[in-house]
Structure 1
Amino acid sequence: MAETKFNNDLLTVSTSPHIRCEESVSKIMWNVNIALAPAALFAVYYFGIPALTTIIASVLAAMASEYFVQKVRGKDITINDGSAFLTGLLLAMCLPPSVPIYLPIVGSFIAIAISKHTMGGLGQNIFNPAHVGRAALMASWPVAMTTWSQITTSVDVVTSATPLNIAKQQGYGKLIETFGSAPDLYKALFLGTRNGSLGETSTILLVLGGCYLIYKRYINWQVPVFMIGTVGILTWAFGGLVGPNPTGLFTGDPIFHMMAGGLIIGAFFMATDMVTIPITRKGQIIFAIGAGAITALIRLKGGYPEGVCYSILLMNALTPLIDRVCTPVKFGTRR
């Protein structure tokens, strides 16, 4: 029998899984930043210098916190991979445009040093870091976090309510009166010409950014669709009377609730966080429906007009349980 010879320069033996992929953590993170960039730039255009200051402070604080913690822990410095940059940008998009400069700095430190690195660092955190930072700021500085300022000129800033605040405190009729008509309200929500956080900017730009992530296959379309759809269905069914209601069927305005607040950015950019979301497609759908239901519950029955942040954090806590319930059946065995 002839002896078989192997060329060690051509034969590479490695352990499974044998997957070749051009994607990397850094590439994915920077692509998500790119997807969010148009909405962030529009926020700067609409809200002015205060919005730019908030974004810069939040991003720089997040990257500085990442560097400091990794240096202290003796880990490799990875501030160039885009993950800390993304956390700072997402946190800034959750803040009012004219918050004191120390708020995004403190929030970014909490998001990176406490939420991310106390759990082991990138890929090991249980909760979405940006939302943890926002929740901490909301608990510590509730007045500053709920003071919504609108830029009227290049130098003037006036305090006014968000659409969700108006609907919650003064009713849907007052909301329509404020914007002139329902189509005018929808137009303001769609284009982003309304008051709110930096992430309550142009719906169309956020959706386009989300579609880019779906195209790149970084996220599954089911998560934003089921989360936004759940909010729409529940607010339509239980959202209170809107105008003449002779049939008793249409009780709420789902279009308003689906575009108002931070639902769009939360559904596309935060609920889809690949670290804190369930692994299976079925689990992700359960996650999205649960987040949408909690959001609708807080908006309609809670004292707080918005609920996206807390709904995602609560569902993050349930992710391990969802993964356990939705574990795929091994090939050749029964459930």
Structure 2
Amino acid sequence: MTPTKAKPDPRLRTSMGLVLLACAPGLLALLWVQGWGLLCNLLLCASAALLCEALLLALRGQPVGATLSDGSALVTAVLLAAALPALAPWWLPMVAAGVAIGVGKQAFGGVGRNLFNPAMVGYAFVLLSFPLQMNHWPGHAPGLLESLQQVVGGGEHIDAWAQPTILDGLRHNRSLTIDELFASHPGFGSIGGRGSEWVNLAFLLGGLFLLQRKVFSWHAPVGLLAGLLLFSLLGWNGSGSDSNGSPLLHLFSGSTMLAAFFIATEPVSSPKSEWPKLLFGFATGLLIYLIRTWGSYPDGTAFAILLMNLMVPSLERLALRRQEAAR
């Protein structure tokens, strides 16, 4: 008897296609800010993710074509490419994508079974393993040839291109007021990072499109932004040298909108019920603020998401008990 070929879930494929479409404004903004290195990241992450997925599916005897066509591996690759430094050496996005698919997704049984957000598993792995390459970001948007030389060259001259992120500059500031910091640091813009303000607005636009199309509910994004807004407001003491930054700076710097609308809303590793989604997002926003302000890393989205992934079963049990108590 010939086995029936598995067919991709059309709903999953449609939702993944909408997510890729919604990422387009943010990716274009990143291309404008960071240069052609982003395109290199996209190609390398996508190639490694699809190849790793196909290889592992074949080794497990699973249908390759049907699973690859659902778009989930490509979405993971795009989110990774958007989060990684644009001038990272060529091997780093490939390692990140391979770990994201192999460890974050296929190790748990494939699509729909992952305990952790796959993209954040890959990102956290390279962040912990290769801190030098992961903590250097381009100070300007170089041309295509310059970007290729840096990426293919393996990051040999990375110090000539790199500058600290504004979140890193803010965290290590000890003497300048916020106004002086904005005036002296080339990475600061009007309210947040120069260029990253537009990147965050672009990802916000894409996220609102997904909300309008009902790809996910509003609970996790609103919870994350509310948590980050509340605690950055409580920790803000004006423009003094010991300031942790204004709420607007935190909302429109780093990966805030990408995290809120494209990472915290991952349907498998986040809660399924409305109340746990809201709490999941709120706690993630709090953790992002705490890591940005007092942690060893300038952003903290990956660690915040992964820590809250561990809490999902507990949040779901609390929601179930709440429903049973209300009956």
Tell me the TM-score normalised to structure 1 length: 0.82
How far 1:232 moved relative to its partner?
1.4
The match for 1:167 among 167, 170, 173 is 170
The corresponding residue for 1:118 is 107
**The 10-residue stretch of structure 1 (273-282 or 40-49) with the greater mean CA deviation from structure 2:** 40-49
Q: 1:111 to 1:173 in 2, by over 3 A?
A: same
Q: Write out aligned runs for 1:1-335 (5 A).
A: 24-77=11-64, 78-154=67-143, 155=146, 158-170=161-173, 172-178=178-184, 184-186=189-191, 189=193, 193-194=195-196, 202-243=199-240, 252-327=245-320
Q: 1:243 to 1:55 in 2, by over 3 A?
A: same
How far 1:301 moved relative to its partner?
2.0
Deviations 1:23-55 (A, max 9, x none): 611111111011012211222233222221111
Q: 1:330 to 1:262 in 2, by over 3 A?
A: closer
Contact 1:298 1:304 in 2 (8 A): yes
Q: 1:69 to 1:244 in 2, by over 3 A?
A: closer
Contact 1:232 1:254 in 2 (8 A): yes
Q: Report the Cα distance in structure 1 between the residues aligned to 2:166 and 2:241, rounded to whole angstroms.
A: 21
Deviations 1:132-191 (A, max 9, x none): 000000111001000111335524872212111111112534431236998x422x64xx
Q: 1:220 to 1:96 in 2, by over 3 A?
A: same
Contact 1:30 1:82 in 2 (8 A): yes
User: What SS does the aligned partner of 2:161 have?
Assistant: strand
Q: 1:220 to 1:153 in 2, by over 3 A?
A: same
Q: 1:325 to 1:160 in 2, by over 3 A?
A: same
Q: Report the Cα distance in structure 1 between the residues aligned to 2:109 and 2:61, rounded to whole angstroms.
A: 13
User: What SS does the aligned partner of 2:171 have?
Assistant: helix
The one-letter amino acid of 2:230's match is I
Q: 1:240 to 1:302 in 2, by over 3 A?
A: farther
Contact 1:235 1:300 in 2 (8 A): no
Deviations 1:50-92 (A, max 9, x none): 2211111001110111111101100011111110000011111
Q: Percent of counterpart pairs with the same letter? A: 29
Q: Report the Cα distance in structure 1 between the residues aligned to 2:323 and 2:309, rounded to whole angstroms.
A: 26
Tell me the TM-score normalised to structure 2 length: 0.84
How far 1:258 moved relative to its partner?
1.0
How far 1:300 moved relative to its partner?
1.8
Structure 1 stretches of at least 4 aligned residues deviating more than 6 Å after TM superposition: 328-331
Gaps of 5+ in 1: 1-21, 195-199
Contact 1:43 1:51 in 2 (8 A): yes
How far 1:325 moved relative to its partner?
0.8
Contact 2:200 2:257 in 1 (8 A): yes
Contact 1:280 1:326 in 2 (8 A): yes
User: What SS does the aligned partner of 1:277 have?
Assistant: coil
Which structure's CA Rg is the greater one? 1
RMSD: 2.6
Please state which structure has a larger fraction of its residues in helix.
2
Q: 1:180 to 1:98 in 2, by over 3 A?
A: closer
Q: Report the Cα distance in structure 1 between the residues aligned to 2:14 and 2:241, rounded to whole angstroms.
A: 52
Contact 1:237 1:252 in 2 (8 A): no
How far 1:210 moved relative to its partner?
0.1
Q: 1:252 to 1:202 in 2, by over 3 A?
A: closer
Deviations 1:82-136 (A, max 9, x none): 1000001111111011001001101111110111011011000010000000000
